[in-house]
Structure 1
């Protein structure tokens, strides 16, 4: 009894996202809800149906129940080309499609050690977080422009994580599954390879008093949502956060991303998937040297509830050149129309033509 009471007291003091982790783990381990991934791989589309998630509370971005699974597109080392991603919410009992408001995000990570070693590109290992891409609320599907794809050996490992969301329904009780699809093609010498680079806004905060309100919250300072996750060091001891709090009203946030792009000479951008949270209205990749946007993504919010109706992606067969001797930043505009502080992120998964990989594949 003491252990039970102590456990309940401990659970009650957890933040919402940690409660969701504990609750989901307990439900899956005890078998009260199914915990298995259902996998189907045919017609060049790898499909997965997630375990059941119990959505029984308000879960803001990054807070809801989630699950992860390893993916292998084939059983051998045949060269495959990933061309697109999709995620949908479905009713766990009826199988019917549900609102996208129950989708927070779906992340796809690579094992960069194995992936780059297969192509003799060991110098790329560990240079950036090995996230291939992410789909999120407002952008639940994403395809590369025709003639482009991400090459990988069929028996390489992908790590997929999908998480639920519920901004609006207070008395909720839904059993939700996420249906994930990864489309791919077999070896095709006409496809051009893409490399992924992740870039996101990082804002400084006071490491000694992180939750102290900045004098001007729309400039170069922030309150982090928490200091354990999405917290970084700028190399000189200053702390930065990629997940921060926005006050009510309109604000603009910007962050230099040259160190994240790590362009050696030049790169040609062909696609971009965007991740932002509700109340974002626009995000752009901006060239500070030319004082012109590389591209602008408009964000449409729900009119009568909290949520994202659509996030514009960027896709171009011709591509746009980015250069090492120019300066780039992400600029995010928000309009918090609610009556309370909200949380925010501004990320881009940028896909560039990979000249080095192309030469390797041709040989």
Structure 2
């Protein structure tokens, strides 16, 4: 076979591969397109793909790789990046006291709108963490997420005198994701600056985290069927692959669902997620919701009153969250083992189309068992 013919065949094969790749990319959801695009841009060096880390006194600061914002990216859809970090190189005890995330212009490093921040998650290795403190019975009991910041709650600190203890050389996984609800015609290079505040001194009381979130049932045989029966308490999931759960009886639940135009209230029990074996004293809560949420409450069903209410302020002139009210208390509020609890989320979708929604809390309780271990 002559070289001209080989070149022709190679050209045809290359064209077919390009066409196939383009067709495959075209049918991907926005979330997966962002993953492919971000990986390609960073691997080819077109945008910066490295994390920048500095460890100042009492602050561990990271700057993410560059994210290209080139269109609308709703919640959970934008370019993202993850990084494993150690707050120190030795096993000395540190106390995490707060978390912060900022959006920066990738070129000038000037502060940008928080509207470019979807969320920032901090996960920990529960096997190492609990083994270090002799609490191996806690391993695998809950998804090991320490906390999450999100659009509307970009700064969160524990009340004075409280923190999360950890060995300095334990690993944390930090993931940050970008967002853009309002600017379809945009080409903006964005970075996220993530800060973890910590103390080295003692005299701090330990907190443990519990993640709770609204889960609503959906029809697993026909999940996108509309309209819903108002009496069914069912939802339309955004998708059935992510944030989809089983209630233990073969029924499907979604933690990421569709909200129609207008006002609605969503609620679900969190007793299984709390895993309370004894009464606990709550000192802080970080809240995660999506735009159009207006209020979320941790509700005591037994006492028929809210434990606390987080008020949520939406932008008036565009889609987005101006402020999510966290909960913080040095005194604390008791949650009782004998009581039942739920999350209650109020939503007002002011647009003419369906929107997506989540409602979750990262609850921080005084950890009496760990306090006893640290002070014995």
- Which category of TM-score, normalised to the shorter sequence, fits these structures? over 0.9
Counterpart-to-counterpart distance in 2, 1:219 and 1:331:
17
CA shift, 1:24, in A, is: 0.3
Per-residue CA shift, 1:211-258, capped at 9, x if unaligned?
112534696210000000000000010000000000000000000000
For normalisation by structure 2, the TM-score amounts to 0.95
How has the CA–CA distance of structure 1 residues 214 and 187 changed in structure 2, closer, same or farther, with 3 Å as cutoff?
A: farther
Q: Which residue of 2 aligns with 1:337?
A: 350
Counterpart-to-counterpart distance in 2, 1:187 and 1:117:
22
Q: Which residue of 1 aligns with 2:62?
A: 48
Q: Which residue of 1 aligns with 2:318?
A: 305
For normalisation by structure 1, the TM-score amounts to 0.99
Runs of 5+ unmatched residues, structure 2 = 1-14
Counterpart-to-counterpart distance in 1, 2:52 and 2:227:
47
How has the CA–CA distance of structure 1 residues 218 and 81 changed in structure 2, closer, same or farther, with 3 Å as cutoff?
A: farther
Runs of 5+ unmatched residues, structure 1 = none
Counterpart-to-counterpart distance in 2, 1:238 and 1:24:
36
Contact 1:219 1:253 in 2 (8 A): no
Q: Which residue of 2 aligns with 1:119?
A: 133
Match of 2:256 among 213, 225, 243: 243
* 1:87 maps to 2:112: no
Q: Which residue of 2 aligns with 1:13?
A: 27
Counterpart-to-counterpart distance in 2, 1:15 and 1:205:
21
Counterpart-to-counterpart distance in 1, 2:118 and 2:241:
20
Counterpart-to-counterpart distance in 2, 1:324 and 1:172:
51
Provide the alpha-carbon RMSD of the alignment: 0.9
Q: Which residue of 2 aligns with 1:162?
A: 176
Contact 1:214 1:222 in 2 (8 A): no
Counterpart-to-counterpart distance in 2, 1:199 and 1:216:
26
Counterpart-to-counterpart distance in 2, 1:125 and 1:193:
18
Q: Which residue of 2 aligns with 1:222?
A: 235
* 1:146 maps to 2:146: no
Counterpart-to-counterpart distance in 1, 2:310 and 2:273:
20
Counterpart-to-counterpart distance in 2, 1:257 and 1:302:
29
**Aligned pair count?**
362
* 1:347 maps to 2:360: yes
Counterpart-to-counterpart distance in 2, 1:227 and 1:215:
17
Match of 1:136 among 136, 140, 150: 150
**Secondary structure in structure 2 of the residue aligned to 1:303:** coil
**Secondary structure in structure 2 of the residue aligned to 1:28:** helix
**Secondary structure in structure 1 of the residue aligned to 2:313:** strand
Counterpart-to-counterpart distance in 2, 1:240 and 1:29:
37
Q: Which residue of 1 aligns with 2:77?
A: 63
* 1:233 maps to 2:246: yes
